[in-house]
Structure 1
């Protein structure tokens, strides 16, 4: 799948929209049904003012007792009702299709983001707050709802209404069509440019602080034992309040700018009303328009005004949704630092001999290497202890064998196989490791014990627990091996 280069704080609006279109292309039939149904529903709205004008002319043209006048009025009354029912039915079909489209997109996006995050390098995880990462994914996933709903069932109909109403009015009165078209285009161009250049930058900054807020919350909650151990609750409260204050100021600036744009759009709509109604009265004063035609123009303007007013809000909704998705799309577009090679094959362990051949390694942005021209061999079955001060590379040694980092030079072999040329999953599944700090999933004891061997039987799980001297305190628990444990046991 094509990836965009990501620089700085995240993806751009163009990347977000391209990302959305790529996901639309995965569901072409569903997308076609939604657009066709919305087109039919909107065309019914376009025709409504025509029959409203005909009803006024029929009523004004003769008494109710006159058969021709009555039949004309009845037809002009019946057709809008039929059109309204058609519009409701088509919109219902479109919304049902949109629900399915959205649910599939949201599931795919969340699954793919999780896939990427799981495979990002150890460095990436070491330098990223877990809470911030979760916030980026969930905020972006839920932003898909307003983004897609707005584009497909709000902005698209507004465009159809604009084109349809302008065409019908221009067919009767070309100047009126020009007024409608120019006024609407100026309004939309004004709304889009203000949202992108004035509101969007403030919204992006507010989102960055929203992400920091999520990271700070998760950091304090996950380290609560340390907080309590040092009686630092007040200090953590103050730290969060400082971040919250900065987020609040930036969010307020974004919201105020949105309100200013909304008021400016209202003034623009008033100017458009003056132009449309003024020209309609001018036509009537010169005998070039009947009362029904004036009613048709006014009804068309009311319909168009509603769509335009909503379009102004929809543009801001799209802008906010795009801002909310920027960090999620940046995750999708980010290259994996440590990736399997295209020709990588599963590793085959025979004896377990490990060889370091002229290994050179240093951490990113670190001036000095941890290993330089390091060569050694560990025979199968041999026990090796690594001794040294903190930061000397003991943990790094094991991480390089697991290929959690790629080397700057040299290679590491296991049974003669370069670890950079085999699949990471097969490599790490052959390595048993006890972490420096206890980490447990919020799952049952049995699931945690069997995590390294998913197909382990209950007997194997219990045998492993006995070897770890854990069976005697697990067995008496009310749910035994089914007991749920927390992140830290």
Structure 2
């Protein structure tokens, strides 16, 4: 058995308080700030955006040309009855031109949608992917505190909101404004200023009313989103833990909790709907007033001889073309505000700072064989008032196995989390091969470590997929070899679908021991230089535990291994055993030496022997 070199004690200063958990900003960012975050993603497709804008302008020019042509058609029909020009030349040519403008408007709009589709879907994909990657980069603290259902709903609404937002903002509001400008130009140049003035006044009143009421109503959308996310989160949480619900006969309790969230959502939605009726009524009043004023002015002009019947028809057609889109402008503006609210929620997730981040220019972890792992005066607390590790120091020499035992809450599993750098230490240092884990990239660090956790969670996929997750791209033969080493191949081969058997949500179709053996196989397939066994055989029966312990010892040969255990019989062959209590190492030595010392370890051993928990 190799001897362990003495470990020099080095103090890095007092432990600091645990970093605060970043919280969502209390106030929503401004709409312009949200839009400015979106624009760079669209600018990647700037050529398509510019082509879409050109097609949009072309479609609106064709649309404005329709009333002008309709005026010419009406006025042309004032020629004497029976004139060949009336029947053959003027109406036919104008009718064909009228149809061409109508068709051109539709074709340009469809072409615009086709050109711009790649930009909208591409931007949505980029933002969704960046959000997904950022969520995986956040610390374990965030994921332990998150509400999965509510978070996924925020992402879903945000992605859906991107496509709607771009479509509404560019192809509805911008298109309507372009058309209004064109119509105002025609009215101001062809008729008196009253026509342009009435149109502008109605437009101003309409937009002011829509913006004012919608800004007031947005609070109900925010509330509805919050209640919707809360209801969705409770439903997902309850369904994921359905076994616990059934164990305690709490189906009705869960239904009441869900119904309370749905009732709150319903109240917010009813407020939103009632205020929508107020918004729509005001908009219709403004539109009706503007239309009556315009037609009155046009009718007066025809009666006075200043305007023709064709002018009257043209003015009416212009008003219809303007006010029909304006009629939807309230809906569009409301949708834009709602989409901006949804998008802001997703950007808030993207802006959540990383508690654990790579240092700028951090290099990859460099290894040339089994490394030494050192914990030097490590201090850590999840919460400032509750310290977990208080000056822990030990070393695992290259290729050796060190076991950590002790009561629950002693800080054993925290060691593996710090080694993986799920959290940063608040005092001291953790190093691999002399390299501080805070100074290397997290990817290279975690690539060098493999773990069999106490609580194994599997993906809702096949057994082969879950084993191969240890090394994506591994061949089926390598997967089966790892399964044999974990003593689970025979069980898998006996299943009707073999390695293609689906394991269910979180692997619940498998027993605890079967899941743990899949986890062992997955880690064996990864074959890293550093291994962590965190109660790796706690869910196995005694016979399988003995068999797998032999396999684990063979696999750990030549690797630097940290074993966290409750059953002492699993660590008797460790090169050194550390006994932890209340965040400190209270004893250390080999199994034989610790028994001879008659201390804490010897008492634990005797207790487990008396209870028959060590399997001896």
Scaled to the shorter chain, the TM-score interval is: over 0.9
Q: Provide the residue aligned with 2:223 in structure 1.
A: 205
Q: Please, which of 211, 222, 229 is the counterpart of residue 192 of structure 1?
A: 211
Q: Which moves more between the two structures, 373-382 or 54-63?
A: 373-382
Q: Provide the residue aligned with 2:307 in structure 1.
A: 289
Q: Larger relative CO (CA 8 A, sep 6+): 1 or 2?
A: 1
Q: Which has the larger radius of gyration?
A: 2
- The offset of 1:13, in angstroms, is 2.9
Kindly report the root-mean-square deviation, in angstroms, between the aligned alpha carbons of the 2 structures.
2.1
Q: Is this contact kept in 1: 2:228–2:261, CA < 8 A?
A: no
Mapped partners of 1:443, 1:111: distance in 2: 22
Q: Which moves more between the two structures, 349-358 or 268-277?
A: 349-358
Q: Provide the residue aligned with 2:594 in structure 1.
A: none
Q: Is this contact kept in 2: 1:6–1:333, CA < 8 A?
A: no
Mapped partners of 1:369, 1:412: distance in 2: 17
Q: Which moves more between the two structures, 181-190 or 421-430?
A: 181-190
The yes-or-no answer on 1:178 pairing with 2:197 is yes
- CA offsets 1:42-88 (integer angstroms, 9 cap, x no match): 11111111111122211134324252686343443332211112112
Mapped partners of 2:289, 2:393: distance in 1: 79
Q: Please, which of 232, 239, 243 is the counterpart of residue 214 of structure 1?
A: 232
TM-score (normalised: structure 2): 0.74
- The offset of 1:256, in angstroms, is 2.3
- The offset of 1:257, in angstroms, is 2.0
Mapped partners of 1:391, 1:242: distance in 2: 36
- The offset of 1:156, in angstroms, is 1.9
Runs of 4+ in 1 over 4 A off after TM superposition: 9-12
Q: Please, which of 431, 434, 445 is the counterpart of residue 463 of structure 2?
A: 445
Q: How many residues align?
A: 483
Q: Provide the residue aligned with 1:408 in structure 2.
A: 426
- CA offsets 1:346-391 (integer angstroms, 9 cap, x no match): 2123332222234332225x43432344433332344333344444
Q: Is this contact kept in 2: 1:206–1:251, CA < 8 A?
A: yes
Call closer, same or farther: CA 1:231–1:9 in 2, change over 3 Å: farther
Q: Provide the residue aligned with 1:150 in structure 2.
A: 168
TM-score (normalised: structure 1): 0.93
Mapped partners of 1:319, 1:226: distance in 2: 41
Mapped partners of 1:82, 1:194: distance in 2: 40
- CA offsets 1:97-143 (integer angstroms, 9 cap, x no match): 23222322222222112111111110111111222222111121122
Mapped partners of 2:267, 2:444: distance in 1: 49
Q: Secondary structure at the match of 1:211?
A: helix
Q: Secondary structure at the match of 2:53?
A: helix
The yes-or-no answer on 1:13 pairing with 2:31 is yes
Mapped partners of 1:135, 1:151: distance in 2: 23
Q: Please, which of 266, 269, 275 is the counterpart of residue 248 of structure 1?
A: 266
Q: Please, which of 257, 273, 277 is the counterpart of residue 239 of structure 1?
A: 257
Q: Which moves more between the two structures, 315-324 or 353-362?
A: 353-362
- The offset of 1:222, in angstroms, is 0.6
Q: Point out the structure with the larger strand share.
A: 2
Q: Provide the residue aligned with 1:354 in structure 2.
A: 373
- The offset of 1:221, in angstroms, is 0.7
The yes-or-no answer on 1:43 pairing with 2:67 is no
- The offset of 1:328, in angstroms, is 1.3
Q: Which moves more between the two structures, 53-62 or 425-434?
A: 53-62
Mapped partners of 2:242, 2:125: distance in 1: 32
Q: Is this contact kept in 2: 1:450–1:456, CA < 8 A?
A: yes
Q: Secondary structure at the match of 1:363?
A: strand
Mapped partners of 1:388, 1:198: distance in 2: 59
Q: Provide the residue aligned with 1:309 in structure 2.
A: 327
Q: Is this contact kept in 1: 2:209–2:282, CA < 8 A?
A: no
Mapped partners of 2:307, 2:113: distance in 1: 39
- The offset of 1:441, in angstroms, is 0.7
Q: Secondary structure at the match of 1:386?
A: strand
